[in-house]
Structure formats: structure tokens, C-alpha cells
Amino acid sequence: MDNPIENTGFVFSKESLRKKFRWSEFFSEKIITGVAFLSITIIVLIFFFVFRETLPIFHQKKETKKIESVQKQEQYNGEETSVAKNSAGQEQYGVITKDTLMMENQVPGEDTIVRGSDEATVKSLLGKEWLPVSDRPRYGLVPLLVGTLKITLLAILFAAPIAILAALFSAAFAPHWMREIIKPAIELLAGFPSVVIGFFALMVMASFFQNIFGYDTRLNAFVGGVAMALAAIPIIYTITEDALTAVPRSYTEASLALGASRWQTALFVTLPAATPGIFAAILLGIGRVFGETMIALMATGNAAMISVNPFESVRTLAATIGAEMAEVVFGDTHYSVLFLIGSLLFIFTFCLNALAEFYVKGRLVKRFQGK
Amino acid sequence: MSKKNRITGALFVGTTAFSAFLIIAVIIILLVVIIIGGKDTFSWEFLTSFPQDGMMKGGIFPAIYGTALLVVIMSVAAVPFGTITAIYLTEYASETSILAQTIRFAVRTLATVPSIIFGLFGLGFFIKFVGGGMDDVFLGGQLKWGQPNILWASLTMSLLTLPVVIVSVEEAIRTVPREMREASLALGATKWETIRRIVIPGSRSGIMTGTILAVSRGAGEVAPILFTGAAYYLATLPTSLSDQFMNLGYHIYIMATQSANVDQTLPIQFATTLVLLMLTFMLNLTAVIIRSRLRRKAK
Amino acid sequence: MKQPKIQIRDLTLFYGEKMALNSISMEIPEKEVTAFIGPSGCGKSTFLRTLNRMNDLIPNVRITGEVLVDSLNIYDKQIDVVNLRKKVGMVFQKSNPFTKSIYENVAYGPKINGIHDRKKLEVIVETSLQKAFIWEEVKDRLHDSAMGLSGGQQQRMCIARALAVNPEIILMDEPASALDPISTAKIEELIFELKKNYTIVIVTHNMQQAARVSDLTAFFYLGELVEYGKTRKIFTTPDKKQTEDYITGRFG
């Protein structure tokens, strides 16, 4: 039979069925696997390089002599709480002079001025003053930490209830067409650049809230917290909504069959069943706010002070890096301290993520699958 | 059901509805305020001209150009790597293998790392380590690559957007039916041939969505480029990878917080914000539409 | 009698801990149609998929025993699975055209075999489509998407696609289960025609179909081969009670 298909060049035989080594197959698999490792590599590299830049804080032997002379002049001890207050009441952005903004001015290897000794630096880290560019630099992280926690707390207090209730609405009560609007709209909010939210907070919300509450400091933790809540809401909403819709139908049907109304089912069955997911949502929301830089830079006032008043300015850890990294000299103490702050931020968000991942997801699986 | 019960129910449902509408209202207010604040200044000329008089007047062309260049270089780096990682996770790794789970964890971690940390990493790794190393090895210590520039800023940004690409592409690959893979393999195609000819073409829309979302993210993020390459003002456009660049988001930040006269430049700030918002809004909207179509297809 | 095309010796298959096929041995003759019947979940599809090693794709599958195709054990470590599948083609239950044109679908196999000559490809595509009795219906729209074909046409195109690789054996996994009676009749006619040149193994839950198209029938139940023999005999005077019960519709 004259069959052109039989001329395809492939003949079946013992020989043709023998295992063949295919280079393209081999390389594609190796390359793909290799590239897939990249994500892990990046995480490891981030750990390594961010930590590496903090190390000079803990051993600065070369400069010991210089430092001694500086120390003699200073004879610094005790706390000067008044200094911190100097910066209160005015809007600060960290970067002040124009030439420090132009980054061409920072040349690595330029004459390094050592402003503080290693020991003093390490000690001052636990202090209450963040004055990195004064004659006697002090790198007290406490005000930054307090500021960050304050902002985070405020933002989550605003964001969590609203986002969770909204998620409950779209998962349990909203008619289909409404859900089709709410979900994409909140997804779009997630896509708003934080600099836009920061700008909105700085130019619009700050004055708006000042008119309502009549406080003195226009930019403060409250404004920052509300703005940050806008950034955290989409995260909390999305994950909560997922958790709520993942609750097995049988749960809600059982409840409805027992005569409970829809809202009772949503509140007493669906919501509790989804708590691990909601917990994860809040954790990730906290992570988002904790590390948020641009909103903090623009809307919080950036004064490093310790206060519980939500209408005072605060300076967060992330904003401090953002504001000051551009004006430091590569490799000096201030630079290393900023990297130390970065390390803290990284470890904190890493732990939050790990917690949300292993603990919460594990519980969710257990709950629904009864393992 | 008792009356009291019904009232409680109505109140509760009302509260949830209020929360949802509050969010929508804030989104609308934000959009409206920015549009109203920026619409008078917004013009073709504003988009295409350079800033003038110490940025007190003029347009934002260099910032748009710099942003575009940034996202292009970023995408070139992030999209292939993200796509390949997604292919590994869906086609090669078994769902339960420790390696695959570790990669997934790393991807999620990467997605939650604060953007400012990427900036620090870019500074410590790309600028000081890689760039500084290149200067030492190739230029005998002369400073060229060991300082902030658009290449390092873009690469830093690509790390940030990598998870965005991976997640989108992975979702799309999963919509390619198993039957098609089987058909291809049953015809004597190898795994790689199946991926190349069936899986990747089948997930083109996902790769596109991923790219769009990554571009949108990269166009809007400012923290990672604060000290890896963005500049306050440049009289010329970047012409080489070792040049610094202007950027829309950074421009907004600088103008709103460090401008010599914040009030006078307010219209420019609003208009710049409007441009950035419109850009990211359109990109996200496109991605949302493609994605919802994809999800419907998957059902 | 000539050498059987496929010999199965003591084949056992596990999904994880669960035994899906229990020690199956049988011989499948060349250029005849062999049908596998049995209630759903009896392992007949799983068994079919062991014949071109499609089960390799499923994690946690463990297989012992031998499958010899032309006296060659395809579970031997030295066997190239990719080339094996060129020799043992497969048509699936659900028609699964690629989201490409009809032409590209049929040309897919030859192309991955390294044929890029346009003329040659055109000839192969035409011949394959003719063999699958679908050429007349699609010859004017070869470059339209295959997704636009009807279910029955899609399935015949999938058969043409399998033929284009020039296999010797064609495995069919309930090829007509999703089709209307007319399309089913066309497929059956096609099978009858194809057995002149190919060895065909078909899984079906439709006993009439098995009776119509096959020369030999194997009845599977709970992962075991209960009875295997000439189709006429199986359907008229089966040896086993279980087979008779199934054939007469008392269960399954």
C-alpha cells in the first residue's frame, strides 16, 4: 500500500524503542528547576545582604581611635528628653536639604566621618532618642518602634472590622451583581500605589480630619493609620472573603436546616468556621502596614517621639529607612543602623508570614477535613 | 422568628453592607478628588514636556519616560523568570514535594516582604556587591556601576514583582485542561514539547495578566527605588543603563514633601498623581477583565 | 496462530495502597478489535492506559508484571516511553482537540517527529483525515479552529490526529460515550475499517457496541479479568456466572 504516512521517517523497532537521551529535555528540565530555585535564593540573599550591612555596628575596630577623640568631646550620658520634643509639632520628612536628595553626591569611599563608637551605638539602640544626624548621634529605636506599633494598631483597628464585615457582606448577603462590583473594586484599591494613597492622605485627609477633630499637628498617627488602613483593607478583605467562601456548604446548610436565619448562620456558623483564615488575613494586614513606607513618610509627620496620643506625629521604622538612607554615607554607623532596622522589619514580616502560613492554614485544613 | 431577632438581623446585615459601601465610597472619593485636583493641569503638553523653573512649572515627561523604562527592564527580567517558576511548580514539581512547598513558601514570603526591604537589598546587593564588584573587576575601581542607576532599580523592582507574575501564570497554566496534555503526550510528544507547544500557548492570557499586574505594581512602587536609582530632577533623559532616572511615584513624593513651595505646585502634584493613578488603574482594570474571563473559562 | 501483538503477564497496579488491577494476564492479537467491558470503576480504563504507559503521569501509581508489545516489555527500564506512545496511539473518552486549527491539530504529531516539509505535512494531514472519514467534512476549513467542530467530528479528528503519527496500535477509551447515535455509528464504522491496518483496543461500557465492533471481548470486574474470549462466545455462552449476569444486565 502506498501510504505517505508510512514515510514519516519513524520506524518502529527494538532499536527505536530503546531509551533515548534527549538534550532539549534534559536542559529544559534542569534550567526550569534551576530558575525555580531563584525565589528561594532571593529570600536567602535578602537575609544575607541586609544582615551583612548591619554587621559593622557590632565590630568597628578600625575606627576606634577616631571614636575615642569624639567621645572625649562628648562625654555623653543620660537622657535628654527635651531634644526629642524639638521635632514635634512640625512636619518633617527626614530628607531636608536639597543636595542630599541628589544621590550623585553620595560617593562611596568618601571620607567617612565616624560619629559614634560601636559600644555607644549598640547601647543607644535601646534608648529613647532617635537623633542620627546630631553632633552626638543617638540611634534609639524605641520611639520608632513605638511609632510603628501605634500606627499598626490604629490601622488594623480601622481596617480589620471594616474589611471583615465587608467580606461577610459580599460572601454571605450581597446579591450576585453587587458582589461582582464590590470584589473588583476592592481589587482595584489593592492596585492603588501607596504613594497615591499617601498623597491623598497628606493633601486631603489630613486637613479633613483636622477640621473635624481640631488637633494641632496636621500630620499624625491618626491620619497615617487611616491611610494605612486603606492599604490593608484589600488584603484583609480578600483573604477573609476566600476563607468565608471556603467554608463547606454542608456547614451552612445544616444551620439553615435547623431553622437559623441567614444572618445567624453567617454570624454564628460561617464566621467562626473561617476564624483561622481571618486571623491569617489580619496577620498579613499587619505585615503590610508594618512595612509600609510611602504612606508613613507622607502622612504621619515623621517626628520620632514616644506618646500614646493618636493625634501626635510618629516616625515609623520603614519611613526612617526611606527618609534617611538617601542622605547617609555608605558604610557609616547611621547606614548600618538603617540596615539593622531593615533586618528587624524583614524578620518581623517573615515571622508573621510564616505564622499565617503554617499555623493558621494548618488549623483551617484540620477544621474542615477533620484530621 | 421573633421581631427582635429580625431587627438584630437587619442591623447586622446593614452593618456589613455599610462597611462594604464605605470602602467603595472611599475609593470613589479618592478617585474623584484626584481627578478634580488634577484635571485642569492635565494636558498633552503636561505629559510631553520637561519640568521648568526648578520644577515649579512644566510637565512630567522625564518622569513618565523613566517609569516606562523602569517597567520595561523590570518586565524583561521578571516575566521570563516568573513564568518558568510557574511552569516548574505546575508541571515538574509534585504538589507534595518539599522543594515545591519551599518554593511556594518563598514566593509568598517574597510577596509579603515590605517594599523598602527590596530597596535595602538593591543597595546592598546590586549596587554595592554586584555593581561595586563590576567596577573593581572591569574598571579598576572607577565608579560607574557601584552607584544607583536605572538598571539596579529595575532589577530591584523585578524581585518585588516576581511573585505577581508567578501567581498569575500559575493560575493560567492550571486552566489548561489535563486532557490536552494527555493528548499531546499520547501523540509521542515529550514533556518539554508539550509544555512549549500546548501549555505555554494555552496560558498566554495568564502570562499577559501577570505582566500587566507586574507593570502596574512596578509603576506605582516608590520605596524600592528611593535609593537605588530614582532622581529628584534630571535635565536629560537616561540614555544608558548606568544613568539615574525620574519616576512618577517618586516625583509625587518629592513634590508633595520637599518642593520649595508645596502649595504653588499643588496642581502639578495632583496632575502627576492623576497620571499615575490612571496608568495603574487602567492596567489593573485590564488585568481584572482578562482574569475574570480566564476564570469563567476555567469553570 | 501468529505471535500476539500485545501480551500482558501478571500485571498488577496500585494507586497508593489501593489495588486497582489484580494480576492480569492476556494476549491481544494483531489487526483485530479487542473490547474491554465491565461496570465503571472495574479498572478497564486504567488497564487500557497501562498499554501505552499513560499511567506514568499519575503520581503514586505502582505497577508490577509485564506488558509485551511485539515481544518487548514496555515496562523495561530501557524502553523509551515517548517513542512507545508513537507506536501505541490513544483516543480519549472526551474529545480533546488542541485549541488550534484542524490542520495544526493533525499535523501536531508529525511535526514533533521532525517533519516540517509543508508538502509532506499536507499529504499526511489529508490522508489521516481521509482514513478517519472526516476529510470531506473539513477539507474546506482546515485552518479553522478545531473547537468549532461538532462533538462527533472532534472525536474523528482526534482519531485522525492519532493516525497521523502512524501508530500500530490504537487504544480507544470509550471513544463514543459522549456522542449521539449517528456519530457513534460513524465511529463504529471507522473502527471496523481501521482494523484492516491497526490493532485496536477499545474500552466501552456499551455492550451492544462491544458486540458490534469487536472480535474479542474481555470482561473486567473489580480490578480482575473475569473472562476473555471470542466476542460471540462471551455474549452468547459465557463460562462465568458473573459475565452472564453483567451481559444480561443483572448488574452494572
Highest mean pLDDT: which range of A61-70, B286-295, C177-186: C177-186
Please calculate the CA angle B83-B85-B86 and round it to the nearest 5 degrees. Answer: 65
The residues, any chain, with a CB within 8 Å of residue B228's CB and separated by 6 or more, are: B119, B122, B123, B126, B127, B148, B152, B153, B156
Output the pLDDT for position A58: 75
Q: How far is A120 from chain B (nearest CA, A)?
A: 24
Once rounded to an integer, what is the mean pLDDT over residues A134-143? 83
Chain segment A312-359, per-residue pLDDT in tens: 889 999 999 999 988 888 778 889 999 999 999 999 999 998 888 877
Q: Using CA atoms, how far apart are residues B221 and A369, in angstroms rounded to an integer?
A: 40
Chain segment A217-274, per-residue pLDDT in tens: 889 999 999 999 999 999 999 999 999 998 888 888 898 888 888 888 998 999 998 9
- Residue C14 CA, chain-centre distance (Å), reads 21
* pLDDT higher than 60, residue A93: no
Q: C97: which chain B residues are within 8 Å (Cβ-Cβ)?
A: 183
Q: Helix, strand or coil for residue C20?
A: strand
- DSSP for A172-183 reads IIS-HHHHHHHH
Between positions 129 and 168 of B, the ones with CB within 8 A of A are: 129, 132, 143, 146-148, 159, 162-163, 166
Q: How many domains does chain B have?
A: 1
**Interface mutation vs chain B, best among A40, A168, A199, most B CBs within 10 Å:** A199
- Residue contacts between B and C (CB atoms, under 8 Å): 61
Q: Please give the residue of chain A at the shortest CA–CA distance from C72.
A: A14
Does the beta-carbon distance from C80 to A19 stay under 8 Å? yes
Output the pLDDT for position C2: 61
Chain segment B106-117, per-residue pLDDT in tens: 999 999 999 999
* pLDDT higher than 60, residue A2: no
For C187, which DSSP code?
A: H
Q: How far is B96 from chain C (nearest CA, A)?
A: 10
| Class of residue B201 by CB neighbours under 10 A (exposed 0-12, middle 13-18, buried 19+) | middle
- DSSP for A214-259 reads --S-SS-HHHHHHHHHHHHHHHHHHHHHHHHHHS-HHHHHHHHHTT
Domains of chain C listed by start with CATH number: 6-247 (3.40.50.300)
Of A298, A292, A279, A300, the residue nearest A364 (C-alpha): A279
> Are C41 and C223 contacting, i.e. CB atoms less than 8 angstroms apart?
no
Domain presence at residue B24: no
* A40: nearest CB among B81, B106, B231: B106
- DSSP for C198-234 reads SEEEEE-S-HHHHHHH-SEEEEEETTEEEEEEEHHHH
* B28-32, B287-291, C154-158, C237-241: range with lowest mean pLDDT: B287-291
Output the pLDDT for position C215: 94
Domain presence at residue B72: yes
The residue assigned the cell 504538589 is: B95
Between positions 112 and 141 of A, the ones with CB within 8 A of B are: none
Q: Please give the residue of chain C at the shortest CA–CA distance from B178.
A: C96
Once rounded to an integer, what is the mean pLDDT over residues C228-247? 91
Task: State which residues form the domain around B267.
Answer: 40-298
Band (pLDDT 50/70/90 cuts) for residue A84 is: very low
Query: Cα–Cα distances in Å, from C188 out to B183, C170, C191, C240?
Result: 21, 14, 5, 28
Count other Cβ atoms within 10 Å, centred on residue A213. Answer: 12
Query: Cα–Cα distances in Å, from B271 out to A296, B60, B113, B219, B248?
Result: 22, 9, 30, 16, 11
Q: Using CA atoms, how far apart are residues B92 and A29, in angstroms rounded to an integer?
A: 8
* C85: nearest CB among B181, B188, B197: B188
Between positions 196 and 225 of A, the ones with CB within 8 A of B are: 196-200, 202-204
* pLDDT higher than 90, residue A123: no
* C115: nearest CB among A6, A9, A17: A9
Output the pLDDT for position A110: 39
Q: B235: which chain A residues are within 8 Å (Cβ-Cβ)?
A: none
Chain segment C125-134, per-residue pLDDT in tens: 999 999 999 9
Output the pLDDT for position A97: 37
Band (pLDDT 50/70/90 cuts) for residue C213 is: very high
For A296, which DSSP code?
A: H
What are phi and psi for residue C6, nearest 5 degrees?
Answer: -125, 130
Domain presence at residue B26: no
Q: Phi-psi bin for A266: left (phi > 0), alpha (psi -120 to 50), beta?
A: alpha
Output the pLDDT for position A364: 64
> Are C83 and B193 contacting, i.e. CB atoms less than 8 angstroms apart?
no
Helix (H) or strand (E) holding C36: strand C33-37
Does the beta-carbon distance from A3 to C127 stay under 8 Å? yes
Does the beta-carbon distance from A291 to B132 stay under 8 Å? no
A39 and chain B: CB distance < 8 Å anywhere? Answer: yes
Alpha-carbon dihedral angle through residues C155, C156, C161, C163, given to the nearest 10 degrees: 130
> Are C234 and C227 contacting, i.e. CB atoms less than 8 angstroms apart?
yes
Output the pLDDT for position A30: 94
Q: Please give the residue of chain B at the shortest CA–CA distance from C83.
A: B188
Chain segment B216-247, per-residue pLDDT in tens: 999 999 999 999 999 988 888 999 999 999 99
Once rounded to an integer, what is the mean pLDDT over residues A288-316? 89
Between positions 2 and 31 of B, the ones with CB within 8 A of A are: 5-6, 8-9, 12-13, 15-20, 22-24, 26-27, 30
* B290-299, C157-166, C176-185: range with lowest mean pLDDT: B290-299
Tell me the average pLDDT of chain B.
91
> Are A312 and A217 contacting, i.e. CB atoms less than 8 angstroms apart?
yes
Q: Phi-psi bin for C23: left (phi > 0), alpha (psi -120 to 50), beta?
A: left
Tell me the average pLDDT of chain C.
90
B137 and chain C: CB distance < 8 Å anywhere? Answer: no
Domain presence at residue B190: yes
Chain segment B55-94, per-residue pLDDT in tens: 778 889 999 999 999 999 999 999 999 999 999 999 998 8
Q: Please give the residue of chain B at the shortest CA–CA distance from C53.
A: B186
The type of residue at A259 is G
Band (pLDDT 50/70/90 cuts) for residue A367 is: low
Band (pLDDT 50/70/90 cuts) for residue A369 is: low
> Are B183 and C80 contacting, i.e. CB atoms less than 8 angstroms apart?
no
* pLDDT higher than 90, residue B289: no
Once rounded to an integer, what is the mean pLDDT over residues B185-213? 93
Chain segment A60-74, per-residue pLDDT in tens: 544 444 444 444 334
Does the beta-carbon distance from B9 to A264 stay under 8 Å? yes
> Are C173 and C48 contacting, i.e. CB atoms less than 8 angstroms apart?
yes
Q: Using CA atoms, how far apart are residues A148 and A146, in angstroms rounded to an integer?
A: 5
The residues, any chain, with a CB within 8 Å of residue A29's CB and separated by 6 or more, are: B92, B191, B192
- Residue B7 CA, chain-centre distance (Å), reads 46
Domains of chain A listed by start with CATH number: 14-73+82-371 (1.10.3720.10)
> Are B53 and B265 contacting, i.e. CB atoms less than 8 angstroms apart?
no
Q: How much of chain A, in percent, has pLDDT values that exceed 90? A: 44
> Are A228 and A202 contacting, i.e. CB atoms less than 8 angstroms apart?
no
Does the beta-carbon distance from A12 to C168 stay under 8 Å? yes
Touching subunits of B (3+ CB pairs, under 8 Å) are A, C
Output the pLDDT for position A112: 44
| Class of residue B177 by CB neighbours under 10 A (exposed 0-12, middle 13-18, buried 19+) | middle
Q: How far is C226 from chain A (nearest CA, A)?
A: 32
Chain segment C26-53, per-residue pLDDT in tens: 999 999 999 999 988 888 999 999 999 9
Q: Using CA atoms, how far apart are residues A10 and C113, in angstroms rounded to an integer?
A: 8
Q: Write the CATH number for B227.
A: 1.10.3720.10
The residue assigned the cell 557609616 is: A332
Once rounded to an integer, what is the mean pLDDT over residues A85-102? 39
Q: Using CA atoms, how far apart are residues B148 and B137, in angstroms rounded to an integer?
A: 18
> Are C11 and C65 contacting, i.e. CB atoms less than 8 angstroms apart?
yes
What sections of chain A are H helices per DSSP?
Answer: 23-52, 64-74, 81-86, 98-101, 118-124, 142-168, 176-191, 194-200, 206-213, 221-246, 249-257, 262-265, 271-273, 275-291, 294-299, 317-324, 333-354, 361-369
Q: How much of chain C, in percent, has pLDDT values that exceed 90? A: 67
Domain presence at residue B97: yes
Output the pLDDT for position A119: 64
Strand duo C61-69 + C72-73: pairing: antiparallel
Chain segment C57-112, per-residue pLDDT in tens: 888 899 999 999 988 899 988 889 999 999 999 999 888 999 999 999 999 999 99
Q: Using CA atoms, how far apart are residues B160 and B220, in angstroms rounded to an integer?
A: 12
| Class of residue B9 by CB neighbours under 10 A (exposed 0-12, middle 13-18, buried 19+) | middle
Output the pLDDT for position A344: 93
Domain presence at residue B5: no
Once rounded to an integer, what is the mean pLDDT over residues A38-48? 93
Sheet of strand C169-173: strand arrangement: C88-91, C169-173, C199-203, C33-37, C216-221, C224-230
Tell me the average pLDDT of chain A.
80
Domain presence at residue B8: no
